[in-house]
Structure 1
């Protein structure tokens, strides 16, 4: 590895002069800075950030801790965050927990040991107490999910309203047997989406047995496939489905296509998230659109401000972005085609 000593020997100057030149010290002439930088580039010199941080320099790495990179919501968020961080001179590092609190803890320990500048986290359902302690020492915010032990800075979606609107759309079309396939209520997102589903049924004046909730792992395509298979075999099969995660939506759509179910003639479907392929799946999928760019930009701006101003205390901050109902051809009155 090329060091500042190698550059100094090549140019015949002191190591301290090389260090100051690379740090753009005003005591070093522009000519010397140019010679040092040119030699560093030619020799393939890379600054030792760990050593710089020991001397008091700050890290330019921000970590994004998420459950599952295969979920397109998280990959899209990561892409938008990376662009925003890059524009501010920061680099995004990705950590994947698989919704396991012990994996989450191991990642947070490693990130803390490497003194990342900040952390954006989609927390597990029950973060370990040591994870809570580690995050208290690092500028951080919660994304999508919110756990009270991790502070009061949170950027999320109005999950209750998003699912309420999605379900109300089906109620307005005359459906009285509606099934919700969603994530566990242990996750705050799962609890709010289920609450939105039930609110729409109540507001529509439907009896308690009009709605059926099937809850399971939100990242499981298999749960989506198995659930819809079981629902379709039921003598009182639902006439409409509303779905509570992107991965569950993908699993349900796979199963419906495999079974040749006619949508919306035999079954109306409202998905979650708006994948590029959803617009041309079957008759076009009616779905809940997510404000990905808005959330990513908001997270980046808040964290950049936090890192640059370094306030002594972080006051509570909450940003709730609305979802949108994207209406296409996969919903219609029971047993009929959309006019």
Structure 2
């Protein structure tokens, strides 16, 4: 490994001169700084950030802690955040928890030990007490999910309203047997999405036995497949499905294709998220769009302002973005006909 001593020996200057030149010290001439930087680059010198941080320098690394990088929502968020951070001179580091609170804790310990500049986290359902304490020592904000123990800075989606609108769309088409596939209620997003689904049914005056819900791991494609399989069995099978996660939507689409279910002739479906393939799947998937770019930009701007201010923790801040119902060909009146008329 090339050191400042190696650079100093090649240039015939002192080690302290090399160190000051690399640190852009005003006591060193621009000519010397240029020579030192050029030689450092030619020799492949990499600065010891840990040592600089011990001398009071700040980190330029921001961590994004998410449940599952396979979920396109999170990978797209990571991409957008990375671009925003890079523009401000920061680097994005990715940590994946698989929704395991102990894995989350291990990542946060490492991030804290390496003194990252800040953390953007999609928390697990029940963060460990030590995770809570570690985050209190770091500038951080919560993304999508909000856990009260982790502070009051949060960027999310109006999950309740998004699912209410999607379900109300099916009700308006004449469906009275509607099922919901989503994440567990212990996750704040799971609870809000289920509540939105039920709100639409209550507003329509549909009886309690008119709907069914299959709740499980939101990142499991296989759970989506199995849940659809269960729901479509028997004479009281639903005529419409609403989904509450991208991975569950993928599982649902795979199962319907494998079974040869006609959409929307036999079953209307509203997915979640808007993957590139959703627009050309079958008749085109009606789905709930997520405001990914808006959320990523908002998160990045808020955290950059917080880091540049170098002050104490900010007060409560909440940013709620609306979802959008994207209408395509996968929803129709029961039986695939036209919507019923009223009046």
TM-score interval (norm. to shorter): over 0.9
Shift of 1:337: 4.1
Residue 112 of structure 1 and its aligned partner are, at CA, apart by 0.3
Name the residue aligned to 2:160: 160
Determine the structure 1 residue equivalent to 2:261: 261
In structure 2, distance between residues paired with 1:311 and 1:195: 38
Deviates more, 1:309-318 or 1:194-203: 309-318
C-alpha displacement of 1:87: 0.5
Aligned to 1:291: 291
- Is the partner of 1:288 in helix, strand or coil? strand
The whole-number CA distance in structure 1 between the counterparts of 2:19 and 2:283 is: 63
- After superposition, residues 211-226 of structure 1 pair within 5 angstroms as 211-226=211-226
Q: Secondary structure at the match of 2:75?
A: helix
Given that residues 5 and 15 in structure 1 are in contact (C-alpha distance below 8 angstroms), is that contact kept between their aligned partners in structure 2? Answer: yes
Identify which range, 167-176 or 21-30, moves more after superposition. 21-30
Residues 26-50 of structure 1, C-alpha deviation per residue, up to 9 Å, x if partnerless?
Answer: 1111110111011011100111100
Q: Is the 8 A contact 1:329 1:338 kept in 2?
A: no
For residues 312 and 80 of structure 1, what CA distance do their matches in structure 2 show?
Answer: 27
Q: Residue 128 of structure 1 aligns with which residue?
A: 128
Distance 1:139 1:161 in 2: 30
Moved over 3 A (4+): none
Who is 1:204 aligned against?
Answer: 204
Range 140-149 or range 24-33, more displaced: 24-33
Contact map agreement 2:139 2:313 (CA 8 A) in 1: no
Separation in 1 of the partners of 2:217 and 2:27?
A: 60
**Aligned residue number for residue 75 of structure 1:** 75
- Indicate the SS of the match to 1:235: coil
Aligned-partner Cα distance in 2 for 1:295–1:112: 25
2:338 and 2:183 map into 1 onto residues whose CA distance is 29
In the alignment, structure 1 residue 171 sits paired with structure 2 residue 188: no
Please, which runs of 5 or more residues in structure 2 have no aligned partner? none
Q: How many residues end up aligned between the 2 structures? A: 339
Instruction: Please report the TM-score for the alignment, with normalisation by the length of structure 1.
Output: 0.99
1:87 is the counterpart of 2:49: no
8 A contact 1:331–1:338 mirrored in 2: no
Identify the residue that residue 333 of structure 1 maps to in structure 2: 333
* Kept after mapping to 2: 8 A contact 1:183/1:216: yes
SS of the residue aligned with 2:94? Answer: strand
1:107-126 superposed matches below 5 A: 107-126=107-126
> Counterpart of 2:242 in 1: which secondary structure?
strand
Equivalent residue for 1:53?
A: 53
Give per-residue Cα distances to partners, 1:53-84, cap 9 Å, x unaligned: 01100000000000011111110100000000
SS in 2 for 1:312: coil
RMSD: 0.8
Distance 1:298 1:234 in 2: 46
**Which whole-Å CA distance do the structure 2 matches of 1:230 and 1:309 have between them?**
53
Q: Distance in 2 between matches of 1:338 and 1:270?
A: 17
TM-score by length of 2: 0.98
Mapped to 2, the partners of 1:154 and 1:234 lie a distance apart of 43
CA distance in 2, matches of 1:312, 1:325: 39
Mean alpha-carbon deviation: is it higher for 57-66 or for 202-211? 202-211
Aligned pairs for 1:272-291 within 5 A: 272-291=272-291
Distance 1:261 1:145 in 2: 34
Paired with 2:244 and 2:313, the residues of 1 have a C-alpha distance of 36
**CA deviation after TM superposition for structure 1 residue 284, in Å:** 0.2
* TM-fit CA distance, 1:313: 3.3
Task: Determine if contact 1:145/1:188 at 8 Å carries over to the other structure.
Answer: yes
For the residues of structure 2 that align with 1:227 and 1:128, how far apart are their CA atoms? 30
User: Quick check: 2:156–2:295 contact (8 Å CA) kept in 1?
Assistant: yes
Q: Is the 8 A contact 1:61 1:117 kept in 2?
A: yes
Distance 1:311 1:163 in 2: 38
